[in-house]
Amino acid sequence: MTRTHHTNEVEQGGLFDQETPLLSEASQAELESCDAAPDGAVLHYAASISYVGTGYHGIAYQAGQRTVIGVLGVAIERALRHHVEIVVAGRTDSGVHALGQVISFSGPAHKGGLDGLYQSLARQLPDDVSVNWLGLSEPSFSARHSARYRHYLYRILPGTERDATTSDRSWQVPYELDLPAMRSASYVLVGEHDFAGFCKKGPDGTSTTRRVYEVRLQSRGRFVDFEIWANAFCHQMVRGIVGSLVEVGKGRSSVSSFARSVLYPPTEKRYLAPPRGLYLVEVGYGDFSGAKDVDPLIFSVGEVPNSVYAVSSCLGRKSRQEQVLNR
Which residues have a catalytic role annotated? 93
Spell out a b/e string for 246-255, using b for 16 or more CB atoms within 10 Å of the CB, else e.
bbbbbeebeb
- The C-alpha angle 110, 112, 116, rounded to 5 degrees, equals 90
DSSP state of 200: P
Q: Are 35 and 136 in contact (CB under 8 A)?
A: yes
Instruction: Please report the beta strands in 144-248, taking only residues with DSSP state E, as ranges in sequence order.
Output: 149-158, 171-173, 191-194, 209-220, 223-230
Alpha-carbon gap, residue 274 to 243, rounded angstroms: 8
Alpha-carbon gap, residue 70 to 254, rounded angstroms: 43
Q: Are 248 and 182 in contact (CB under 8 A)?
A: yes
User: What is the phi-psi region of residue 116: left when phi exceeds 0, alpha when psi lies from -120 to 50, beta otherwise?
Assistant: alpha
Q: Which of 110, 142, 123, 125 is nearest to 34 (CA)?
A: 110
Q: What is the DSSP string of 13-48?
A: H-TT------S-HHHHHHHHHHT---TT--EEEEEE
Alpha-carbon Rg for the chain, nearest whole angstrom, is 21
Q: Are 77 and 256 in contact (CB under 8 A)?
A: no
Q: Are 277 and 270 in contact (CB under 8 A)?
A: no
Give the bridge partners for 137, in sequence order: 308
- Exposed/middle/buried for residue 12 (C-beta within 10 Å: 0-12, 13-18, 19+): exposed
